[in-house]
Amino acid sequence: MSSANLEALGPDEARQLYLEARQDELTADTREGQDYRLRAFVAWCEEEGIENMNDLNGRDLYKYRVWRREGGYTGQELRNVTLRGDLATIRAFLRFCGEVDAVGEELFTQVPLPQVSHGEDVSETTLDPDRAKAILDYLAQYHYASRNHVVLLVLWNTGCRIGALRALDLRDLDLDGDRPNAGGPAVHFVHRPDTGTGLKNDEKSERWNGISEYVAGVLRDYLAGPRHEVEDDHGREPLVTTRQGRIARSTVRDVLYRVTRPCWLGEECPHDRDPAECVATETGKMSKCPSSRSPHDARSGRVTAYRLADVPRVVVSDRMDASERVLDKHYDRRSERQRAEQRREHLEGL
For the stretch 249-283, pLDDT in tens is 889 999 999 999 999 999 999 888 898 899 889 88
Please check the confidence at residue 346 and state whether its pLDDT lies above 70: no
Mean pLDDT of 108-137: 76
End-to-end CA distance of the chain: 71
Average pLDDT of the chain to the nearest whole number:
87
d(CA 197, CA 310) in angstroms, rounded, equals 33
Q: What is the pLDDT of residue 1?
A: 45
| 104 three-class SS | coil
d(CA 214, CA 309) in angstroms, rounded, equals 20
Domains of the chain as residue ranges with CATH: 3-110 (1.10.150.130), 129-301 (1.10.443.10), 305-347 (no CATH)
Q: What is the pLDDT of residue 316?
A: 80
Higher pLDDT, residue 234 or 330? 234
DSSP classification of residue 248? P
Over pLDDT 70: what percentage of the chain?
Answer: 88
Mean pLDDT of 84-108: 92
Are the C-beta atoms of residues 218 and 183 closer than 8 Å to each other?
A: no
Q: Which of 239, 213, 237, 224 is nearest to 150 (CA)?
A: 239
Residue type (1 letter), 114: P
Q: What is the pLDDT of residue 121?
A: 42
Range list of β-strands (E), the chain? 173-174, 186-189, 207-210, 241-242, 245-246
Q: How far is CA 114 from CA 6, 15, 78, 111, 232, in A?
A: 29, 23, 11, 10, 41
Q: How confident is the model at residue 322 (pLDDT cuts 50, 70, 90)?
A: confident
Q: How confident is the model at residue 321 (pLDDT cuts 50, 70, 90)?
A: confident
Please check the confidence at residue 119 and state whether its pLDDT lies above 50: no
Please check the confidence at residue 16 and state whether its pLDDT lies above 90: yes
Q: What is the pLDDT of residue 324?
A: 73
Are the C-beta atoms of residues 198 and 191 closer than 8 Å to each other?
A: yes
Tens digit of pLDDT for each residue in 288-314? 888 899 888 898 888 888 877 778 878
Its pTM stands at 0.68
Q: How confident is the model at residue 2 (pLDDT cuts 50, 70, 90)?
A: very low
- Half-sphere exposure of residue 33, counting CA atoms within 13 Å on the CB side? 13
Non-local CB neighbours of 154 within 8 Å, separated by 6+ positions = 160, 165, 168, 187, 211, 215, 219, 240
CB atoms < 10 A from the CB of 160, how many?
A: 28
Q: Which of these ranges, 132-141, 181-190, 286-295, 327-336, has the smallest mean pLDDT?
A: 327-336
Mean pLDDT of 134-161: 96
Q: How confident is the model at residue 124 (pLDDT cuts 50, 70, 90)?
A: low
Mean pLDDT of 207-233: 96
